[in-house]
Amino acid sequence: MSDAELLDDLSGFEFEDLMEDVFRNLGYENVRQAERTADKGRDILMEEVVDGTRRAIVVECKHTGSVGRPVVQKLHSAVSTFDFDGPKRGMVVTTGRFTAPAREYATNLREAGDPHPIELIDGTDLREIADEIGLDLYNGRIEIICDETLRPFDPTSGVDAPIREAFRDIDNIDAGGISTPQARAEFQPVVLITADVGAVFETSVGVIHRIDETDRFVVHARRGRPDIMEGAVRRLIQENRRQTTELDEEEFADVFDTIDVHRFGQTETEYKDWAVDRLRERHTTTVSYTGDNNVTYTKTCEPNQSDISVQSITPIYLPEIRQTTRLQQYEYPYEYYAAGPSRVTVEDGIHRCVHCETAGQDTDYTFCTNCGSINCPDHTKTERLEQAPVCTGCAVTERFAFKTKYFYDEGNLETFRAEYEEMPLHEKARENPPLVAGVLVSLLLAPIFGLVSAGII
């Protein structure tokens, strides 16, 4: 494929859109497109910081096979008149090549120490840039290159720390002594998008509506339509976005039993287009205003694509950790999004009664050492022989003194039967305190009822 054939299917405007993304990926700041109407030789405006000094760059994009000296001269004039308080330079980017006079003009400016030098980037240079940032030159889309992830666990406390912390709320269990859980790590693709929206809507009476806002998205970026992440998960990502580590699958394989890294479902270019469309919808509004003839009119104010400047698209992986702990007959899943010591719970199978729908951390739960179940108060009883918790699901029951008693097994039941047979009557009665209290109250009230019946009182 020759240089002139690069990106041939793109229009001139589409090429400008693409180069805006390219420059943003190369690290330039405040990248935005100039007004497309009345173009004065400025397609893209951006800034760079060199040795602590901020410099403006005026870019001319030419989606043509050849660029001559007049284009470079015109841009040089545009740079010199561009309003910026600081040093300035120019740049011409083309999918094709530059003529010898164009290169000679740019070289002379540089060698003469001109305050407004012009850099030339041709199709061959674009190939090298493409390799650096993941640009597919055949379709003009920038692929997402990402090997950074939020930390899937806190290295100071270990991968099992969240599980042990969760079990600490459960009564009758040593959280530090539970078995090592099975751990699965899924690395979910996420993109963070920042965009500026600036639009002014005017009629014959003047400005009727103005938009000047910065919007930020956190987007789940797996296959299918992008989903905006809100609430606690969004805060987790935003607050920890700079606390990342390399996504080293071999290293994490030593910590987790299974690892799955999900691919980004779309290109960076597609996420940018999606964000622009969504922002246009979000900021479209109907405005009422009074015309020169004192008649009230309504106008739908919808931002143009050129009114929206995507400032950054940052890819990152969000670890989704699922740990499953087996305790005798039961398994307890605990799933969460992780960012080092911080996390957002997705599923909590620990704070949940195995016998009913009770769930959540607002209830006290008790572990049954007899079968390994975790239970709510309604399904937790006291084992009669050993005076320890037992759940209603595994307990063996029998009535003594008209009251149901709970036992770990038939052996404990048989042992208590023998003890019960040897008890004197008053001790047997104490096996049902409410019954004894009722009998005593009845005995006390019986004489009073007798006197009342006899008319004495």
Rounded to 5 degrees, what angle do the CA atoms 195, 199, 201 make? 160
Do the bridges between strand 66-67 and strand 374-375 make them parallel or antiparallel, or are there none, so unpaired? unpaired
pLDDT in the model for residue 4? 40
Q: Encode pLDDT of 145-172 as tens digits.
A: 889 999 999 999 999 999 999 999 999 9
Lowest-pLDDT range, 175-179, 439-443, 453-457? Answer: 439-443
Q: Angle at CA 31, nearest 5°, toward 30 and 34?
A: 115
Tell me the pairing of strands 403-407 and 396-400: antiparallel
457 pLDDT more than 70: no
Q: What are phi and psi of 205, to 5 degrees?
A: -90, 0
Residue with tokens 């499953």: 324
Which residues lie below 8 Å from residue 350, measured CB to CB, with a gap of 6+? 163, 166, 167, 170, 325, 332, 334, 374
- DSSP-derived secondary structure letter, 248: -
Count Cβ atoms within 10 A of the Cβ of residue 273 and give its class: 0-12 exposed, 13-18 middle, 19 or more buried.
middle
At 33 the pLDDT is 82
In this prediction, residues 246-250 reach a mean pLDDT of 92
What pLDDT, in 10s, does the model give residues 24-38? Answer: 999 999 998 876 544
**Confidence (pTM):** 0.77
> What is the DSSP annotation of 145-198?
---EEE-SS-TTT-TTHHHHHHHTTSBT--GGGSPPPEEEEEEEEEEEEEEEEE
pLDDT at 5: 47
Q: Report phi then psi at 28, rounded to 5.
A: -70, 155
pLDDT at 311: 87
Q: Do strands 141-142 and 118-121 pair parallel, antiparallel, or not at all (unpaired)?
A: unpaired
| Residue entry with tokens 């071999």 | 250
pLDDT value for 353: 97
**Residue 378 and residue 356: Cα distance in Å, rounded?**
9
Nearest to 355 by CA among 336, 381, 334, 335: 381
C-beta atoms surrounding 237 within 10 Å: 19
Over the Cα atoms of the chain, what is R_g?
A: 37
Residues 102-131, mean pLDDT to the nearest whole number? 93
pLDDT, position 7: 63
Mean pLDDT of 429-442: 64
Residue 44 DSSP one-character state: E
pLDDT value of position 220: 95
pLDDT at 132 over 60: yes
The torsion defined by the Cα of 200, 201, 206 and 208, in degrees rounded to 10, comes to -100
Look at residue 206 in the predicted model and tell me its pLDDT: 93
Task: Tell whether the model's pLDDT for residue 436 goes beyond 80.
Answer: no
Q: State whether residue 88 is helix, strand or coil.
A: strand
Neighbours of 258 (CB within 10 A): 11
Say what the pLDDT of residue 396 is.
Answer: 97
- 87 has a pLDDT exceeding 50: yes
Nearest to 150 by CA among 338, 335, 322: 338
pLDDT in tens, 383-412: 999 999 999 999 999 999 889 999 999 999
Residues 337 and 187: their CA atoms lie apart, in Å, by 10
CATH of domain 12-133: 3.40.1350.10
**Tally of residues, the chain:** 457
pLDDT at 177: 85
Q: What is the DSSP secondary structure assignment for residue 229, as one 8-state letter?
A: -
pLDDT at res. 1: 40
Per-residue DSSP letter, 431? T
Checking if the pLDDT of 131 tops 60, the result is yes
Q: Share the mean pLDDT of the chain.
A: 89
The predicted model gives 342-357 an average pLDDT of 96
Average pLDDT of span 422-429: 87
3 pLDDT higher than 50: no
Mean pLDDT value of segment 286-301: 93
pLDDT computed for residue 446 by the predictor: 59
Domain coordinates in residue numbering, the chain: 12-133, 148-322
* pLDDT (average), residues 309-338: 95
Spatial separation of the C-alpha atoms in residues 401 and 399, rounded to whole Å:
7
Output the pLDDT for position 216: 94
Question: Is 80 exceeded by the pLDDT of residue 320?
Answer: yes
Q: What pLDDT score was predicted for residue 309?
A: 87
Q: What is the DSSP letter of 383?
A: B
Give me 187's structure tokens: 């690395």
SS3 state of residue 16: helix
Q: What is the mean pLDDT of residues 421-447?
A: 70
Instruction: Write down the pLDDT at residue 181.
Output: 95
Supply the pLDDT for residue 192. 96
